[in-house]
Structure 1
Amino acid sequence: MSDADNKKPISEEFERATNYELTDHDIERARLLIGIDLACRDKEQITTISEDNIRTYAQGCGSDNPLFVDPDYASKTRWGGVYAPPIISGFVNKPLLGDPIPKEIKDQTKSVFRGIHAFISGGEWKFYKPLYPGDSVYSFSGEVDLEVTPSEFAGRKVTRFNRSVKMNQRGEVIAEYTYRLILTERKKAREKGKNLSIEPASYTDEDIARIDELYANDNPRGREKLFFEDLEVGSILPDSVRGPLTVTDVVNFHAAGYGWVPYGLRTGRMWHKNRKRIAPFYVKNEMGVPDVAQRLHWDSSWAQAIGNPRAYDYGVMREHYLYHYLTEWVGDNGWVVSMYDEIRKFNYMGDVQFVKGEVVGKREENGQYLVDLKVQMINQRDEETVRCTATIALPSKKGGAVLLPQADEATQRKAIEMLARHGELLAEKQG
């Protein structure tokens, strides 16, 4: 078949994939899911923590922090060995058995928002405990809210707020993540073409030298203690950098464990089976080959088909980059308590992110010595792409070592109940 013969069906494929609409009917159906917590049955690429996948994860985020990658070093810290930072639970999961969604709700919400472009625009993390080699991660989650607002980029948008509670095999809550999932119409975004005029980044040797200098000075604090008393409101955090973004960065982030369910990146026979399972997720590329719609993160021609100038990162990549920036700054004796971020701009291939931060508050609370921070990512066009607020716990010269925070009683009780129900259903299944 000639290239000319291929052009029409591929164009039709793009048109089909970008022609789904946000409807009032889908919005009302989606509201039925608010307040329902369900056990997460997904089996992620990683289900149980090991020294190897901790190291692979950290390096996939661009971090060589010895606390995560060097067992000999980590064994001499307060943690007793390498541990996985709780943010890794965003893409580590072992199937949790639980009661299904009520049938009437399932029937009414089937295929809701099918074919609509979705991306995460940030969220709020709360961190309670580290994960050690041998620990498994289970989770349950549910919609907590839904908003409909105008969108400069795509006409209107739907924002779904989902809270996911992460726990270990003992039922201890290790983290909570409430993220914002943005839903927009691909067709309107493409027609508007708002971002297509954004010029690609270009760097001189002097530009790369400036970036290299920031990396050269960007080292983990390590054993050196940063005390609560060392900081004042207005104290400036060290400048840092991430990027320039390449396809290699996206590949490394996937290698770290991200992005396998519910859609999945599959090869060979598994590619064939996955297409049968979720056909709308596959859109023909310029060669007529069905490939994942998710490829807009590495395939600029597909990204352009839905209204962007080139491929761009996952917003969660920058969340994880920021977490490691904070963890390396607080050192081995501090703890990142929480982090709220807003992804405000796309991070396109070639873009670089300069990281800046400052102290905006200090307080003592329930035996913890807490410092509030404002952190930003700013690209080479001097645009703020991420706005973040975070709270860290530091050791105190008068109060001693950091005390880890705890989940509230209701959330911890729900976690124990969910894990107990898992045990009951597992026993029934095996018996």
Structure 2
Amino acid sequence: MSTETAAKADAEEIYTFKDEDIARARDIVGVYHAVRKREQFSRASPDIMRAFARSYGDDNPLFVDEDYGLDTRWGAQIAPPMINIAVTKDLLADPIPKEQRRPPFRGIHVFVSGSTTDWYRPVFDGDIIYSFEGFDNVELKESEFAGRSLLVTRIHVQFNQRAEIVQIQRVLTIHTERHESKKRKKYDTIERATYTPEEIAAIDEIYAAEQRRGAETRYWEDVQVGESLPRMAKGPLTVTDMVVFHSGGYGFAPYTPCTGRLWHQNRQRIGAFYIPNEQGVPDVAQRIHWDAEYARSIGLPASYDYGMMRDCWLTHVLTDWIGDDGWIDSMSSQMRRFNYLGDTHTFTGEVVGKRVEGTRHLVDIEFRGTSQRDEVTCPATATVSLPSRETGLATLRKPPAELEAIAAQMIKRHGELRAAKRTGRV
């Protein structure tokens, strides 16, 4: 579970939904807007692709070596699957009408519960990534104990400078009313993990045995339903992991951590996101991901990771298994439990199906990350496309034509506004 906001008020304060916010959320389903915020980076490069892959522990030469890819089917280095969370350039666009703006849901907890991502094209050196987004689905749930919850699925469509869609991601966020006095004891029984040297050695054994398929082609015909994927370890999770993940590219725009004058300017823009720490210094609410003292102050036993970090880990499992010639078609994940500092995850999976669709040879996989508490925190499913001994290379899907048409319109308008800005007409 990863949260985009954190408790701002004292333990007894209650936040509830406004009916007009719920109505507006439903009204704007299917309305798309250009993303006008820039992520950490805006253009893919060999160094950026390398830094991002390494930020979640991936040393695949296809992602980190600018020469290795020259001898693969791609003919160049390509970006890791989740590069969208690090590379997005801001689009110029017309102002959003007031009635189409996203409701603020001020004071409401927001948790990322899971995501579904479809990949269509690789990202290469020099590619600029743009995006448009909107609400894909809005569902209201009510319970006597927890109050109302709003399940909002947001769609994020990423495309390159040629208006070619590279991926579409749907993220399920759960907006919950805050009744702190009822919830603060929920996690009291969870103990932080500690390790003996022998336990660290056992984790090291998993790391040492990890297998990357690489240049050895995995053919569809050789895959058997029921076969297991090799184990992969991640953790124990540390503050260093969180720092490296951010420094590798995860910008968390528009709440990007910043310092000095930029810290001051950001507080003027989104002051409510800055909550005084124990020394009275306004600091970002997302420090819940690395500040254990702050996490404990709102009833959690420790800081915890980002859901997107575990999505990166899940794609790492897949890309190690499929090899250089394979392609991830789609992946759906759930974030069912927190992954606290100190927690260790072991990833396991199985092939549950294989099929042919036209010229495409597909394999279905079920896999998961399991913590040292023996809790499955991030179950997932995926479909991958593999080469066939009969038909050759794995083929990629075409993205939805209607969404690619929207991307083309937005690129066109971006160019018009940029030209007008350059000549002083706006």
Residue aligning to 1:307:
299
In 2, the alpha carbon distance for the partners of 1:253 and 1:410 equals 34
Compute the displacement of 1:195 (Å): 1.3
In 1, the alpha carbon distance for the partners of 2:362 and 2:38 equals 36
Residue aligning to 1:402:
394
Superposed CA offset, 1:186-223 (max 9, x none): 44377442112201112222221121111111132110
Contact 2:347/2:367, CA 8 A, preserved across alignment: yes
In 2, the alpha carbon distance for the partners of 1:228 and 1:285 equals 54
Residue aligning to 1:55:
50
Q: 1:269 aligns with which of 242, 261, 269?
A: 261
Question: Alignment partner of 1:144: what SS?
Answer: strand
Compute the displacement of 1:152 (Å): 10
Residue aligning to 1:76:
71
TM-score scaled by length of structure 1: 0.92
* Counterparts in 2 of 1:261 and 1:334: CA distance versus 1, 3 Å: same
1:96 aligns with 2:109: no
Residue aligning to 2:121:
129
Contact 2:242/2:305, CA 8 A, preserved across alignment: yes
In 2, the alpha carbon distance for the partners of 1:298 and 1:318 equals 16
Residue 268 of structure 1 aligns with an amino acid whose one-letter code is G
Residue aligning to 2:334:
342
Residue 355 of structure 1 aligns with an amino acid whose one-letter code is F
Question: Alignment partner of 1:75: what SS?
Answer: helix
Residue aligning to 2:347:
355
Question: Alignment partner of 1:385: what SS?
Answer: strand
Contact 1:13/1:284, CA 8 A, preserved across alignment: no
Question: Alignment partner of 1:157: what SS?
Answer: strand
Residue aligning to 2:420:
428
Q: How many residues align?
A: 417
Residue 228 of structure 1 aligns with an amino acid whose one-letter code is W
* Counterparts in 2 of 1:400 and 1:260: CA distance versus 1, 3 Å: same
Please give the residue correspondences for 1:18-417 in structure 2 after superposition, counting only pairs within 5 Å: 19-106=14-101, 112-150=104-142, 154-188=146-180, 191-417=183-409
In 1, the alpha carbon distance for the partners of 2:420 and 2:269 equals 28
Residue 69 of structure 1 aligns with an amino acid whose one-letter code is V
* Counterparts in 2 of 1:153 and 1:384: CA distance versus 1, 3 Å: farther
Question: Alignment partner of 1:361: what SS?
Answer: strand
Q: 1:15 aligns with which of 10, 13, 36?
A: 10
Question: Alignment partner of 2:82: what SS?
Answer: helix
Contact 2:24/2:99, CA 8 A, preserved across alignment: no
Structure 1: unaligned runs, 5 residues or longer: 1-11
Compute the displacement of 1:231 (Å): 1.1
In 1, the alpha carbon distance for the partners of 2:100 and 2:313 equals 38
Compute the displacement of 1:150 (Å): 4.9
The worse-fitting range, judged by mean Cα deviation, of 375-384 and 20-29 is: 20-29
In 2, the alpha carbon distance for the partners of 1:307 and 1:68 equals 39
Question: Alignment partner of 2:415: what SS?
Answer: helix
Contact 2:348/2:368, CA 8 A, preserved across alignment: yes
Compute the displacement of 1:154 (Å): 5.0
Contact 1:98/1:425, CA 8 A, preserved across alignment: yes
Residue 41 of structure 1 aligns with an amino acid whose one-letter code is R
Compute the displacement of 1:17 (Å): 11
Residue aligning to 1:5:
none
Contact 1:154/1:188, CA 8 A, preserved across alignment: no
Question: Alignment partner of 1:239: what SS?
Answer: strand
Question: Alignment partner of 2:395: what SS?
Answer: coil
Superposed CA offset, 1:313-365 (max 9, x none): 00110001111111111111111111000111110111111101001111111
The worse-fitting range, judged by mean Cα deviation, of 395-404 and 72-81 is: 72-81
In 2, the alpha carbon distance for the partners of 1:307 and 1:16 equals 9
Q: Percent identity?
A: 47
Question: Alignment partner of 1:27: what SS?
Answer: helix
In 2, the alpha carbon distance for the partners of 1:418 and 1:260 equals 23
Contact 1:186/1:306, CA 8 A, preserved across alignment: no
Contact 2:154/2:171, CA 8 A, preserved across alignment: yes
Q: Which has the higher helix share?
A: 1
Structure 2: unaligned runs, 5 residues or longer: 1-6
* Counterparts in 2 of 1:64 and 1:31: CA distance versus 1, 3 Å: same
Residue 88 of structure 2 aligns with an amino acid whose one-letter code is N
TM-score scaled by length of structure 2: 0.93
Residue aligning to 2:3:
none
Question: Alignment partner of 1:263: what SS?
Answer: coil
Residue aligning to 1:3:
none
The worse-fitting range, judged by mean Cα deviation, of 413-422 and 271-280 is: 413-422
Superposed CA offset, 1:92-151 (max 9, x none): 111112233223344xx56x2012222312110000111111110001010011122357
Residue 418 of structure 1 aligns with an amino acid whose one-letter code is M
The worse-fitting range, judged by mean Cα deviation, of 202-211 and 230-239 is: 202-211
